[in-house]
Amino acid sequence: MIRLMDILAEELPEILDEARYVYVVRNRKKKKRLAPRPGYKVVNGKYKKMTGSEKMKRKIAARKAAKKRKAKKSQIKRKRNLSMQKRKSMGLGRK
């Protein structure tokens, strides 16, 4: 059975390589980095499969972080609104 990824790999390898990257803003500059994949982490610029124990630890840590974020939600919202007002006054609007 022929798969779509096999066809793309043969026909357009440069498009397939580009699809693995996303652009992010860091320090007011546009940077290219590997796109996140579920169950994998990026080590030295390459994907590496996460162990089961690491996945569990991350899941528990994410739950704890969500509780902390919830406690500071009103503070976060107020600061975001101030930033949006500043952007609007500079003529950037809300994008």
pLDDT at site 20: 82
The domain segmentation of the chain, as residue ranges, is 1-50, 52-95
CA angle 33/39/40 to nearest 5° reads: 35
pLDDT at site 69: 92
For residue 72, the tally of other CB atoms under 10 A from its CB is 10
- Mean pLDDT of each 10-residue bin along the chain, 95 residues long: 67 59 76 87 89 96 95 92 84 65
Pairing of strands 40-43, 29-34: unpaired
pLDDT at site 77: 94
Q: What is the pTM of this model?
A: 0.51
What burial class does residue 23 get, using C-beta atoms within 10 Å of its C-beta: 0-12 exposed, 13-18 middle, 19+ buried?
Answer: exposed
Length of the chain: 95
pLDDT at site 26: 72
pLDDT at site 14: 55
